[in-house]
Amino acid sequence: MTDLIKAIISDMDGVLWRGSQALPGMRDFFDFLFKREISFVLATNNSRNTPEDYVEKLASMGVSGIRPCHIVTSGTATAITLQAQYPAGTRVYVVGGHGLKQLLSDAGFQLVDKDAELVVCGIDFDLTYDKLKTATLLIRAGARFIGTNPDSSFPSPEGLVPGAGSILALIESASGCAPTIIGKPERGMFEAALRQAGSKAAETLMIGDRIGTDIIGAQALGIQTALVMTGVETEASLRASETQPDLVFAGLPELVEALRS
């Protein structure tokens, strides 16, 4: 298997951890990648944090050697995409976490609470009615509506909880405007990951826990896919899906064993 795979793109939530709890096999997974010198990128639809935040999180879980260049978030992809379309100083209203706000600010955008040209929405664990109201009014006044990712749910230690897609759906219902999606399953996220991994699609393996984003998006670019059953999908949802991953594993220990063999 490793003869055909030169690089790995891996999701994080539901693959490496749930909330602050590392999933079984996470350290062995990274030990394997570093020992075999396999190029890898961690690509998450979660826009709440910056790449540096994820480096710190992994270090707190006992994984060293991870650098910001190993990580692509939907916030990263959103900032890069919008930077290519709009000039510095463009006024943006953000519904989202500190990571998304920092990435957009670092990209040269002006973060505002009124008269915005863009409304950018990601996961927001401090969501309020006032934020939703402001976003809705700005979109109705002509601001373009951007969503970092469409994930309706989010794997946590307690179970599946509302994700960014749920917030997008609420704002879309109130504003009458559908968002432009940047993150997985859209091409931009995977193309950014391939560039950072320095690999071709056919020699890359995507590891994910969600068929509708990780698997469908990767397969559209010709990337090999592996689904782990530690996040969103169930045996029933996998059987019912028209899209099937190339490989299915109970979790990281089984995946790493397959890579070793």
Q: Is residue 50 part of a domain?
A: no
Q: Is residue 61 part of a domain?
A: no
Q: What percent of the chain has pLDDT over 90?
A: 92
Q: Is residue 53 part of a domain?
A: no
Q: Are residues 151 and 191 in the same domain?
A: no
Predicted confidence at residue 27, as pLDDT, reads 96
Q: Is residue 31 part of a domain?
A: yes
At residue 85's C-alpha, the angle toward residues 81 and 90, to 5°, is 105
Distances, alpha carbon 30 to alpha carbons 36, 62, 79, 156, 182, in Å: 10, 10, 28, 22, 28
Model confidence band, residue 165 (pLDDT cutoffs 50, 70, 90)? very high
Overall average pLDDT of the 235-241 stretch: 97
Tens of pLDDT, residues 44-95? 999 989 999 999 999 999 999 999 999 999 999 999 999 999 999 999 999 9
Q: Are residues 91 and 165 in the same domain?
A: yes
Q: Is residue 51 part of a domain?
A: no
Q: Are residues 148 and 197 in the same domain?
A: no
Predicted confidence at residue 155, as pLDDT, reads 84
Q: Are residues 177 and 200 in the same domain?
A: no
What is the pTM for the complete model shown? 0.87
Domain boundary among 130, 146, 181: 181
CA 158, CA 184: separation in Å to the nearest integer? 24
Q: Token digits for 59?
A: 């270090």
Q: Is residue 67 part of a domain?
A: no
Distances, alpha carbon 202 to alpha carbons 68, 93, 222, in Å: 25, 38, 6
Predicted confidence at residue 11, as pLDDT, reads 97
Q: Are residues 145 and 170 in the same domain?
A: yes
Q: Are residues 93 and 157 in the same domain?
A: yes
Q: Are residues 172 and 250 in the same domain?
A: no
Predicted confidence at residue 154, as pLDDT, reads 84
Q: Is residue 252 part of a domain?
A: yes
CA 208, CA 248: separation in Å to the nearest integer? 10
Tens of pLDDT, residues 105-146? 999 999 999 999 999 999 999 999 999 999 999 999 999 999
Domain of 112?
A: 86-181
Report the mean per-residue pLDDT for the chain: 95
Domain boundary among 181, 204, 222: 181
Q: Are residues 100 and 168 in the same domain?
A: yes
CA 97, CA 192: separation in Å to the nearest integer? 21
Distances, alpha carbon 171 to alpha carbons 91, 140, 168, 177, 227, in Å: 19, 11, 5, 8, 31
Domain boundary among 181, 216, 231: 181
Q: Is residue 1 part of a domain?
A: no
Overall average pLDDT of the 201-220 stretch: 97
Q: Are residues 193 and 175 in the same domain?
A: no
Q: Enumerate the active-site residues.
A: 11, 13
- Tally of domains within the chain: 2
Model confidence band, residue 1 (pLDDT cutoffs 50, 70, 90)? low
How do strand 7-10 and strand 204-208 relate by DSSP bridges? parallel
Q: Is the dihedral of CA 168, 11, 83, 98 positive or negative?
A: positive
Q: What CATH number has the domain bearing residue 156?
A: 3.40.50.1000
Overall average pLDDT of the 168-175 stretch: 98
Q: Are residues 174 and 192 in the same domain?
A: no
**Do 212 and 234 form a contact (C-beta atoms < 8 A)?**
no
Overall average pLDDT of the 168-176 stretch: 98
Q: Are residues 96 and 172 in the same domain?
A: yes
Model confidence band, residue 157 (pLDDT cutoffs 50, 70, 90)? confident
**Do 218 and 186 form a contact (C-beta atoms < 8 A)?**
no
